[in-house]
């Protein structure tokens, strides 16, 4: 995936207090709560509305209308001064595809998948255990068989965070030696069967990656949640099988078979947008294609939207300033670090 920072002339520079027209304010992108901002050594501070920041121009998926979004979380490798670095930047909602619609679809699905996972994990919302059946492609069973030979016991969960787009979490449970205690992979798609296949395929990539860290120089396993500071730490934390008990809530929502999840009549960007709109949410798309890929078929875009829960790396920098998350977490925030790497 080839991206580059936008040229300065393509960005609008203005303080939040001076913005006009349609724009997504930084605080709508799920930042941090007051307790986090007040904790000693917390790496981010609330953005001063009078501080100029860079804004990139995107378009809403639902109307196609232009909307300005903060360049820091939208544009890969955007350089911001310390006074304008108001959040951690990750790859959430970043994807490539053939032509703009394909890239937008992939980016929106990536954003939706991480949102469903992060809300499920942080709020400890039960999923539903998904029982494989004969409606799945034989290739799925073959991949699961190969993973089992390596020591992984595969469990699938259908996550639910208010958007009617199937998001499948695949967890590979192991003994901590042949396979880590728990490894996760994730996929969202309008077709539940497609999401299942992608999640299992991703497990085949995620598990060996964690195994390499277990057997190499990166084996250090964080002793407690506060020690989870990097992307690799999140996965390493669940190498000990005793910590797989943190996943128990996922299966508390009951079970269903793959055949019980309805396949869509239409798989398209417009159908995805309709379902997001029905959930009371909106997604904006910002193209960040590098000039060397600017001609078809390769396009790279970032999808982002108000109140979509962002992934974080480092336990203390969880994005807890999201009212949508708080509304789904009546019993408080999960104290265990998330396992996604």
Identify the domain containing residue 103 by its residue range. Answer: 12-118+268-328
Per-residue pLDDT at 22: 98
Same domain, 232 and 285: no
pLDDT tens sequence across 24-46: 999 999 999 999 999 999 999 99
Decide: 257 and 156 in contact? Cβ < 8 Å: no
Q: What is the pTM of this model?
A: 0.94
Residue 341 in domain: no
Residues 134 and 253 in one domain: yes
The secondary structure of 122-176 as a DSSP string is HHT---EEEEP-TTS-HHHHHHHHHHHHTT-EEEEEEE-SS-SS-EEEEEEE--S
Asked whether residue 50 falls in the same domain as residue 26, the answer is yes
Judgement on whether residues 256 and 285 belong to the same structural domain of the protein: no
Residue ending a domain, choose from 243, 260, 277: 260
Q: What pLDDT was estimated at residue 208? A: 86
25 and 74 co-located in one domain:
yes
User: Comparing C-alpha atoms, which of 120, 122, 154, 133 is closest to residue 253?
Assistant: 120
Same domain membership, residue 180 and residue 280: no
Q: What is the pLDDT of residues 140-195, one digit of tens each?
A: 889 999 999 999 999 999 999 999 999 999 999 999 999 999 999 999 999 999 99
Single out the residue in 240, 260, 280 at which a domain terminates.
260
> In angstroms, rounded to a whole number, what is the distance separating the alpha carbons of residues 89 and 108?
17
Q: 34 and 88 share a domain?
A: yes
Q: Is residue 335 part of a domain?
A: no
Among 237, 260, 283, the domain boundary falls at 260
> What is the domain-level CATH number for residue 81?
3.30.1330
- Report the domain count for the chain: 2
Q: Is the pLDDT of residue 215 over 80?
A: no
Residue 219: CB partners within 8 Å, gap ≥ 6? 213, 236
| 77 has a pLDDT exceeding 90 | no
**Residue 194 per-residue DSSP state:** H
Q: Please check whether residue 85 lies inside any domain of the structure.
A: yes
Tokens 């936008």 correspond to what residue?
Answer: 6
The sign one gets for the Cα dihedral 193, 113, 77, 57 is: positive
Binned at pLDDT 50, 70 and 90, residue 218 comes out as: low
Task: Spell out the SS3 assignment of 208-241.
Answer: HHHHHHHHCCCCCCCCCHHHCCCHHHHHHCCCCH
Q: Residue 171: which CATH number?
A: 3.30.160.660
Mean pLDDT of the chain: 93
Q: What is the pLDDT of residues 281-318, one digit of tens each?
A: 999 999 998 776 555 558 999 999 999 999 999 999 99
Residues 194 and 188: their CA atoms lie apart, in Å, by 8
How many C-alpha atoms does 213 have within 13 Å on its Cβ side? 21
The answer to whether position 339 is within a domain reads no
Query: In this structure, is residue 333 part of a structural domain?
Result: no
Both 288 and 219 in a single domain? no
Integer Cα distance of 293 and 95 in angstroms: 13
Whether 21 is in a domain gets the answer: yes
142 inside domain: yes
Residues 218 and 112 in one domain: no
The closest of 332, 287, 279, 270 to 167, measured between CA atoms, is 279
Instruction: Assess contact for 299 and 288: CB atoms under 8 A.
Output: no
- 65 phi, psi to nearest 5 deg: -75, 150
E-only strand ranges, the chain: 12-15, 52-60, 66-70, 94-98, 128-131, 153-159, 167-173, 182-188, 255-257, 284-287, 298-304
Task: Confirm whether 2 is domain-assigned.
Answer: no
User: 69-102 b/e with 16+ CB inside 10 Å = b?
Assistant: bbbbbbbbebeeeeebbbbbbeebbbbbbeebeb
Q: Residue 185: how many CA atoms within 13 Å on its side-chain side?
A: 22
Residue 234 sits in the same domain as residue 293 = no
Distance CA(19)–CA(202), nearest Å, equals 41
State pLDDT tens for residues 9-29.
579 999 999 999 999 999 999
Residues 200 and 143 in one domain: yes
Are 38 and 100 in the same domain? yes
Q: Please count the CA atoms within 13 angstroms of the CA of 74 that sit on its side-chain side.
A: 29
């Amino acid at each position: 995936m080839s991206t580059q920072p936008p040229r300065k002339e393509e960005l609008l520079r203005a303080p939040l207090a001076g913005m006009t027209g349609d724009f997504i304010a930084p605080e709508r992108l799920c930042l941090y709560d007051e307790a986090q901002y007040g904790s000693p050594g917390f790496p981010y501070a609330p953005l001063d509305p009078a501080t100029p920041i860079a804004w990139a121009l995107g378009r809403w998926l639902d109307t196609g209308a232009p909307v300005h979004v903060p360049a820091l979380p939208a544009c890969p490798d955007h350089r911001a001064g310390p006074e304008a670095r108001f959040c951690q930047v990750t790859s959430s909602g970043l994807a490539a595809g053939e032509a703009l619609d394909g890239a937008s679809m992939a980016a929106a699905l990536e954003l939706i998948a991480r949102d469903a996972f992060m809300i499920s994990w942080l709020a400890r919302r039960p999923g539903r255990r998904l029982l494989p059946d004969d409606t799945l492609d034989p290739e799925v069973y073959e991949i699961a068989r190969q993973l089992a030979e390596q020591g992984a016991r595969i469990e699938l969960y259908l996550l639910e965070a208010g958007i009617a787009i199937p998001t499948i979490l695949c967890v590979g449970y192991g003994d901590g030696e042949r396979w880590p205690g728990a490894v996760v992979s994730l996929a969202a798609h309008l077709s539940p069967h497609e999401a299942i296949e992608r999640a299992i395929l991703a497990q085949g990539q995620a598990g060996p990656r964690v195994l390499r860290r277990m057997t190499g120089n990166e084996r250090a396993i964080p002793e407690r949640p506060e020690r989870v500071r990097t992307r690799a730490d999140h996965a390493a934390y669940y190498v000990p099988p005793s910590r797989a008990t943190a996943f128990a809530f996922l299966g508390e929502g009951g079970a269903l078979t793959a055949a019980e999840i309805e396949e869509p009549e239409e798989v398209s960007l417009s159908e995805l947008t309709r379902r997001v709109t029905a959930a009371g949410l909106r997604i904006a798309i910002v193209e960040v294609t590098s000039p060397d890929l600017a001609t078809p078929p390769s396009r790279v875009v970032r999808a982002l939207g108000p109140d979509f829960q962002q992934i974080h790396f480092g336990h203390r920098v969880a994005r807890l300033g999201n009212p949508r998350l708080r509304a789904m977490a009546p019993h408080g925030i999960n104290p265990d670090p998330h396992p996604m790497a």
